[in-house]
Amino acid sequence: MRRMSDEGEGRNSTFETFGAVPVTPRNIFKLLQKGEMTLLFPGGMKEALHGPGEEYQVMWPEQTDFVRVAARFGAVVVPFGGVGADDSVHVLGKQDELMERLRSAVPFLPPEQPRKPKEDRL
């Protein structure tokens, strides 16, 4: 199973270390074309590590490309949600700052690398 990761400073290289690829319609097309299962969180890290005042909101992108690609390959789409996530953790900072702290605290995570064009990272 391949996880899709959000675009954004401080996030992709960490998740790519564990096999994730950036969330792009082209990447999900390539993965499904190869017959790989994918895991895509529509709200992604922005929804998981939201800022103050953004609690209890669904942050799904306006794009429908992912649904079209899934339909083209006959992929099974399993909707899910997390109830109570906003009440289980109090986010004390912005996600980029938190990822930088995590990266400095966990020695096996590589430092942020220069970014390649997103279509070339699969």
**Overall average pLDDT of the 91-120 stretch:** 67
pLDDT at residue 69 in the model: 92
Phi and psi torsions of 118, nearest 5°: -60, -30
Using one digit for the tens of pLDDT, what is the confidence trace for 50-69? 777 777 777 777 777 888 99
And the tokens for 116?
């390649």
38-39 vs 2-5, strand pairing mode: parallel
4 backbone dihedrals φ, ψ, rounded to 5°: -95, 140
Can you tell me the distance from the alpha carbon of 28 to that of 70, in angstroms, rounded to the nearest whole number? 8
Question: pTM higher than 0.85 for the full model?
Answer: no
* Integer Cα distance of 87 and 101 in angstroms: 23
